């Protein structure tokens, strides 16, 4: 098992950890800022699966993270994970707020596209 696989297992464990707040903080601080695409991808997916306001905010609003990631693979994986959510209410609410109020136009456009996808998929 190489180091990347070990880190992936740590991310998976944090995704199911009972101390959810602390786990989200570590995932946000370490996972989303990783130089490795696979780790960023898995972190974004894990945060979306958490489906809390804090975890979704990171992958929907932050520039260069989640759906706004420069890597198309990471961005697409994040969108797929959002579409796979059973309860999309919180994600849609954050996306609506981002479309209305975010300062960065690129982020607003991405949010609008994802919002449209989620509307059609639900």
Partner 1 sequence: MEIGKLSLHKAISPKKVEKAVDLNENKFATNPFGVSFKGNVIQADVFESVKKISPISKINEKSKLFASAVVSGINNFNEAFKSRMNSVVSFGKKITTNVFDTLERIGKTEITFDMEGIKNKIFPDRQYSVKNLSSKTVNELQDMWKKLEATAA
Does 17 engage in binding with partner 1 (CB under 8 A)?
Answer: yes
Nearer to partner 1, 22 or 116 (CB): 22
Angle between helices 53-61 and 89-101 (to 10 degrees): 40
7 to 35, 44, 53, 56, 102: CA distances (angstroms)? 13, 14, 25, 21, 32
User: Can you tell me which of 1, 72, 101, 105 binds partner 1, judged by CB under 8 A?
Assistant: 1
Does 3 engage in binding with partner 1 (CB under 8 A)?
Answer: yes
Does 33 engage in binding with partner 1 (CB under 8 A)?
Answer: no
Stretch that binds partner 1, among 22-30, 74-82, 87-95, 106-114 (CB under 8 A): 22-30
Which two structure tokens, joined as six digits, stand for 12? Answer: 């998976």
């Amino acid at each position: 098992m190489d180091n990347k696989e070990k880190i992936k297992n740590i991310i998976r464990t944090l995704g199911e950890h009972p101390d959810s707040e602390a786990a989200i903080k570590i995932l946000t601080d370490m996972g989303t800022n990783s130089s490795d695409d696979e780790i960023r991808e898995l972190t974004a997916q894990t945060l979306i699966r958490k489906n809390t306001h804090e975890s979704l905010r990171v992958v929907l609003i932050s520039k260069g993270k989640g759906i706004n990631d420069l890597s198309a693979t990471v961005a697409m994986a994040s969108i797929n994970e959002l579409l796979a959510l059973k309860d999309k209410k919180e994600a849609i609410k954050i996306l609506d707020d981002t479309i209305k109020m975010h300062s960065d136009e690129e982020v607003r456009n991405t949010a609008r596209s994802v919002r449209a996808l989620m509307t059609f998929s639900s």
